[in-house]
Amino acid sequence: MIIPSFLNFKRSLVHCSISVTKLTNYPAAGITTRFLSAEIRTFSQTKPVKKSVLLILLATPSMGYSQINIGAKAGLNFVNVTSAAGINAGNRTSYMIGGYISPKPKKLIGFRSEIILSRQGYDYKTGTATGNVNLDYLLIPQLITLNFTKKFQINAGGQAAFLMNAAVDSSGGSGGNSSLFDYFNRFTYGLVAGAEVSPIGGFFIGSCLNVSLKNLNRDNNGGSSPGFIPKELIKNNVVQIYTGWRF
């Protein structure tokens, strides 16, 4: 029969207590770092020895909600295309909706990232048909902001545009059922510049100009294409006017 040795158990008994010893805040970057230490006491027949060791170093950089701006916006697009005389392309009005996230401005210069669903395209008129081409883009602008006051901001930067949907509405029936993705670039890019004012609370009003740097349509190398596809390479330019709310 084996009898447990309580004496050995007592000598090896270890008591641990964990406490927060240091809490350091970096509000400018929104970073909180916590240092946890453990106090280990060993009990034996001799005098207890107290040791303080670093048990866990927990660094959790995080941008708290109080350090960022989140906004939602919606408005109108005023769209035109360049070099499209062959189809008599005209200006058109459509819509945009999206949102953004950015650090709360504490200095003159800041930045923000946006994501926008934007309907673009053009109206056309040929000898046999009239109609419109709808091009739905997912826009991802990356902007540098100049925050002159809490109520006025200028922004500018670059923008990537991904073609999500393409459709034609034609009175002459020339659209057919074929996909339009064969005639338009799936990815384009450009420049963005605009301004915003915030007259009261989180409400803001803004306007921006989007200038495309890549052709809207593909070069068909002299091949055949529907009448609503211009023979020339064209670009989309868009003026956006919108309102929104900053949370």
Name every residue whose Cβ is closer than 8 Å to that of residue 68 and which is 6 or more positions away in sequence: 30, 101, 102, 103, 104
Q: Is the same domain home to 36 and 99?
A: no
Note whether residue 79 is domain-resident.
yes
What the block records as the tokens of 141 is 């602008």
Nearest by Cα to 217 from 229, 199, 207, 204 = 229
Q: Is the same domain home to 233 and 119?
A: yes
**How many structural domains is the chain composed of?**
2
CA-CA-CA-CA torsion sign (120, 136, 164, 229): negative
- pTM of the complete model: 0.70
User: Digits of tens for pLDDT over the chain (247 positions)?
Assistant: 444 444 444 444 444 344 444 444 444 444 343 433 334 343 344 444 444 433 333 333 444 456 899 999 999 999 988 877 677 777 889 999 999 999 987 889 999 999 999 999 988 887 777 888 999 999 999 999 999 988 999 999 999 999 999 998 876 555 544 578 889 999 999 999 999 999 999 999 999 999 999 999 888 766 677 878 888 888 989 999 999 999 8
Using CB atoms within 10 A of its CB, is residue 190 exposed (0-12), middle (13-18) or buried (19+)? buried
Q: Hey, which residues does 26 pair with through a beta bridge?
A: 31
| Residue range(s) defining the domain that contains residue 24 | 13-61
Note whether residue 3 is domain-resident.
no
